[in-house]
Amino acid sequence: MIKKSFKVTSEAGLHARPATSIVNEANQFGAEIEITYKEKTVNLKSIMGLMSLGIAEGAEIIIQASGSDEEEAINGLTNRLKSESLAEAL
């Protein structure tokens, strides 16, 4: 299992459009991927799960992946978050 922490930098937080982008990225991998915010953890491959967290600008989140392609999953999500100016790694 690999865990990585991020700080959300998008002024709008992780609302519908960026959430869709993140979920689409997560679904490209076979690994189980979860996101944790304020002690609540959800499946990052679920748009409803991600939206239920209500992640705002400045929030600290943890993404964890477990499986055969966990490293690729974390790297892909890190790149997506950075390229779309949604979050930065801590």
The CATH number covering residue 54 comes to: 3.30.1340.10
Q: Does the annotation mark 15 as catalytic?
A: yes
Q: Which pLDDT score is estimated for 35?
A: 98
Active-site residue, from 1, 5, 12, 15: 15
The count of structural domains within the chain is 1
Instruction: Assess contact for 6 and 61: CB atoms under 8 A.
Output: yes
Instruction: Assess contact for 73 and 33: CB atoms under 8 A.
Output: yes
pLDDT digits (tens, 9 = 90+) for 1-38: 999 999 999 999 999 899 999 999 999 999 999 999 99
Q: Which pLDDT score is estimated for 85?
A: 96
pTM, two decimals, is 0.94
The range of the structural domain enclosing residue 61 comes to 2-89
Q: Which pLDDT score is estimated for 20?
A: 95
Nearest CA-CA partner of 30 in 64, 76, 70, 1? 70
